[in-house]
Structure 1
Amino acid sequence: MYAAQVDGLRDLVSPAVQVLDRETFTESANVLLASAPERFILAGTAYGGCLAMEVLARAPQRVAGLWLMNCQPGAHPYPDRVRATSRRIRQGEHDAVIAEFTRDAIPEEDGVSRAMFVTMARDAGAESFARQSDATLTRADRWPTLAASTVPTLLIWGEVDRFVPLEVGRRIARRMPHARFASLPGCGHFPTLERAAICTEIARDWLRDAGLS
């Protein structure tokens, strides 16, 4: 998911990637805070973006910069769908759920990104997927957190994401007038995977301009 950024930004920052799947966002945020440096720049996509907002809410003084992509700051609007998805994964429909998710997340014409995501989801395993699905039910409303934040912020949004529409990214940008906002035509739910080079370029410029490198 972030391989291109780990390679392309390491001369400016010291990148580290974590995959967290505790039962609640609070628990995963605590794990991240316990292992992170005292001050750090935090990036997250989709589920990871929601977790990044949880970390910001819990320890704003430790977040030096924030990079969010295609994530929903509000509480999950469809809890019954989440429970059904988790149940299907645990009942042996992991591959079917991955296939459905991939069709909605990444445009059909981007077969390379689709194949990469399917491989990553399978490698992560069914139980991790189900736990992350469960954890979305513990997601809090973080619109006030974003509105109150003054940390340097980068927003990159895939324009054709079916899960978190472009308007959500624009709404965040309006709540955070200091944030830098970029939308990517033809890109779906995972900008750093689908548009690796351009995301790295945008991030490099932001890190330098914000004095974070």
Structure 2
Amino acid sequence: MTEKHSLVLIPGLLCTGDLWRDQIDALDDIANITVADHTRDDTMPAIASRLLSEAPERFALAGLSMGGYIALEVMRQAPERVTHLAIMDSRAIADTPEEGQRRLDFINLVEKGSAFKGVTRSLLPILIHPSRLEDEELTDRIFKMAEDVGKEAFIRQERALLAREVLWDVLKTISCPTLVLSGADDKLIPASVQREMAVEIPTAQYVEIPECGHLPTMEEPEITSKYMRHWLARS
């Protein structure tokens, strides 16, 4: 019997392990899966350091959005420990000034007591494909994840994102089997940005899921799980 992979999954901003619910179920036969905690620290290096302190000695690593930023920071700190890398709907470049200002605006709103549902509802049109905006099961899961992360953790996450370093130079040093996966209609981080990132990674396979937004693990779980299974089979 083939030994299972150790697989660490990193959620995105305002997301919990429920972001990966379907992949955890679909890949259970080939991977021992844990979900990293990215809520307790307010810098990317500290989040990655905590992940490394709690992870197996060698492990596969997948991150979506903010999780992808953290995964790249892990690759900067300890690439020798990562057997496989998957970066989904993420990037290695800095925020635009407009994006940075939006993060500051959200911090201010939440500090003043704004309900998370209002924040996440305002983000929905750029988080998921337009065809899914009336999917109450999906949108309720997104709202619930935000509530579960909570105000204080959200502010820590946003501060970490605001202060993160550009990690473009890390890309060309990656030597493990790598999957770069994008929703073709991601409005938050366009697929073109992710294709450019994949070109820089010597071992990257780039995959684009049609009619999918920023959350492919939830919007197109079966397709995402299929590509992750193929990725983990690479050597």
Q: TM-score, normalised by structure 1?
A: 0.94
Residue equivalent to 1:4: 22
1:105 equivalent in alignment to 2:105: no
1:137 equivalent in alignment to 2:162: yes
Instruction: State the 1:84 CA deviation.
Output: 1.5
Of 118, 137, 149, the match for 1:124: 149
Instruction: State the 1:92 CA deviation.
Output: 1.6
Q: Residue type of the partner of 1:81?
A: R
Instruction: State the 1:106 CA deviation.
Output: 0.8
Unaligned runs of 5+ residues in structure 1 are none
Would the aligned equivalents of 2:83 and 2:176 in 1 still touch at CA under 8 Å? yes
Q: Give the number of equivalent residue pairs.
A: 210
Of 84, 89, 99, the match for 2:110: 89
Would the aligned equivalents of 1:104 and 1:161 in 2 still touch at CA under 8 Å? yes
Of 154, 166, 169, the match for 2:191: 166
Q: Residue type of the partner of 1:183?
A: E
Instruction: State the 1:82 CA deviation.
Output: 1.6
Instruction: State the 1:114 CA deviation.
Output: 2.3
Q: Distance in 1 between matches of 2:173 and 2:93?
A: 15
Q: Give the RMSD, CA atoms, in angstroms.
A: 1.3
Q: Distance in 1 between matches of 2:64 and 2:54?
A: 20
Q: Distance in 1 between matches of 2:198 and 2:192?
A: 10
Q: Residue type of the partner of 1:67?
A: A
1:199 equivalent in alignment to 2:224: yes
Unaligned runs of 5+ residues in structure 2 are 1-18
Q: Distance in 1 between matches of 2:171 and 2:94?
A: 14
1:149 equivalent in alignment to 2:149: no
Q: Residue type of the partner of 2:184?
A: E
Instruction: State the 1:91 CA deviation.
Output: 1.1
Q: Distance in 1 between matches of 2:228 and 2:26?
A: 10
1:47 equivalent in alignment to 2:72: no
Of 179, 197, 200, the match for 1:175: 200
Identity %: 32
Summarize deviations over 1:80-115 as a string: whole Å, max 9, x none. 322121111121223221111222111232124222
Q: Residue type of the partner of 1:130?
A: I
Instruction: State the 1:28 CA deviation.
Output: 0.5
Of 15, 20, 32, the match for 2:33: 15
Q: Residue type of the partner of 2:50?
A: V
1:80 equivalent in alignment to 2:101: yes
Q: Distance in 2 between matches of 1:29 and 1:159?
A: 28
Partner secondary structure for residue 162 of structure 1: coil
Q: TM-score, normalised by structure 2?
A: 0.85
Larger strand share, 1 or 2: 2
Residue equivalent to 1:185: 210
